[in-house]
Each structure stands twice: as structure tokens, then as C-alpha cells.
Amino acid sequence: MGLLKRAKTTLSEQGLRVFLHKMLIFIEMLLSNIFRILLPATTYWKLMRRYHNLKRRDVTKYDSSVDPFEIHWIDPDSIQYRSDRTDRYRHPIHRFSLIGRVSAGDWDRMKGRLSERTFEDRGDYQAFVQRFQEGKDWSDITCISEDSKTRDPYYDKLYEEIAENGYQSQFELLEAGKSTRTFRQAICNEIAIDIGRNGEPLFVDGSHRLSVAKILDVDEIPVVVYHRHELYLNEEPSEL
């Protein structure tokens, strides 16, 4: 579907407000890509962080010194459980809007059978253990879907890249010329976590990279923070 046809479809089916929002994002992405090509990586990254920080996020209302787009380096083994939020959008446009949010509720409580499972109980993590620790062929691994198995060359390449070169942030990949992602795309391709009321990092997105980091016993990985629990910010301000 051509660009003009998609625009007409969005306008007719989703209304003017959604259409304008998507148009603004498209224009921003276009300009961001031009700046990415023309500017040195460090200059480009700083410029885009400042631009996106012009719009206040929830977390800055609690602590104005917090940069929602800061990348934090943490021990991958400190991520044990997943966040129990329901608004875990998959499209980058929606994921980007989750950065820097503050919310109340019990999404950080490990209630119910599914949310009590640790990250390492996930099928994709177990599949990676069988592949990279036990040496099984992808065709012999039963805890992942057939659709996932079609990406096995990508998973092998991901493992080899981190094993050989260490875990690199999206900015480091951009700086080294290994990535052509814009700032928005890069931020949304980092491992994402939420911060619970007691400061615990809760998994949100990036299971394959986190699985590889755990299996390789990587000391630190870069993460971006989506939601922070309101009680945590009220009771215990943190550098996260």
C-alpha cells in the first residue's frame, strides 16, 4: 500500500487526530534520519535526547533531574520477574510513549500463576539454553513455536555477536556504524524494564537479548525504563 493510500485509510478509519499524530511522527522520523546521516553519532544522540525531553514525561513531575531517555547499565541476573502491566504495546510508536511513565496499581505484584513465573521459566529462554548451552538443533527444541524457529539464523548470529564483541548498547552500535536506526527506533530496541515499588527491575521487552546476556553471564546490559511505580518514587527516589 502506497504512502498516500495509507494516509487516506488512516484518516477515514481512525480520524483526524490519529492521522495528525502519525503525520507528526512520520515527519519527526524523516528529519531524525536526515540528522542521523549528517551529524556525528554523539552529537545526534544528544540532540535527539534534548528534543524529546522538551515534552515532559510523568517521571519528571516527581523528579525533574531524571532523564527518561537515559540508558541504565544493570546486571542481567537482577531481572527475575516480568511486569504484569496490560498496556505492553508491541509497535515502536506505542512503546516509545511508555518511556518515563509513572503508575500506581498492582502490576508489580507477582500475583497469579503466570506472573509468578520467573523470566528463566519462559519458553524462549529455555529454548536458548537448549540451543547454546546444550548444543541442540533448533528443529529438536519443542518449547518455541514453529514461527520462531524460522528466525534461528538470526538468533545464532545474535549469540555469536554478543559472545565475540560483548553486549553493546544501541548508541554504541550507531557510533560504530553497525546500526542505521534513528533515536526513537534505537531506544525502543533496547531491553525494556519497569521499576516496581521496591525498586526491582521487571522485564518488559527484549527477551532474546536478555536470554543471551544471562546465558553468557554478561556483567552489565543497557536497559531503558518504561514505567516506574508511583510508590517507589514517592518513598525512595532513585537514580533509576
Q: Where exactly are the structural domains of the chain?
A: 58-235
pLDDT for the residue numbered 237: 46
Report the C-alpha gap between 131 and 156 in whole angstroms: 9
As given in the structure block, the three cell numbers for residue 5 are 493510500
Three-state SS string across the chain, please? CCHHHHHHHHHHHHHHHHHHHHHHHHHHHHHHHHHHHHCCHHHHHHHHHHHHCCCCCHHHHHCCCCCCCCCEEECHHHCCEECCCCCCCCCHHHHHHHCCEEECCCCCCCCHHHHHCEHHHCHHHHHHHHHHCCCCCHHHCCCCCHHHHCCHHHHHHHHHHHHHHCCCCHHHHHHCCCCCCCHHHHHCCCEEEEECCCCCEEEEECHHHHHHHHHCCCCCEEEEEEEEEHHHHHHCCCCC
Residue 28's pLDDT is what?
Answer: 86
Spatial distance between the Cα atoms of 235 and 198, rounded to a whole number of angstroms: 9
Give per-residue pLDDT as tens, 23-36. Answer: 787 888 899 999 99
* Ranges of residues in the chain whose predicted pLDDT is under 50: 113, 237-238
Cell of 172: 554504541
The predicted model scores a pTM of 0.85
Report the pLDDT value the prediction gives residue 64, as an integer from 0 to 100.
Answer: 83
- Can you tell me which residue has the cell 502519525? 22
- For helices 207-215 and 152-165, the axis angle rounded to 10 degrees is 50
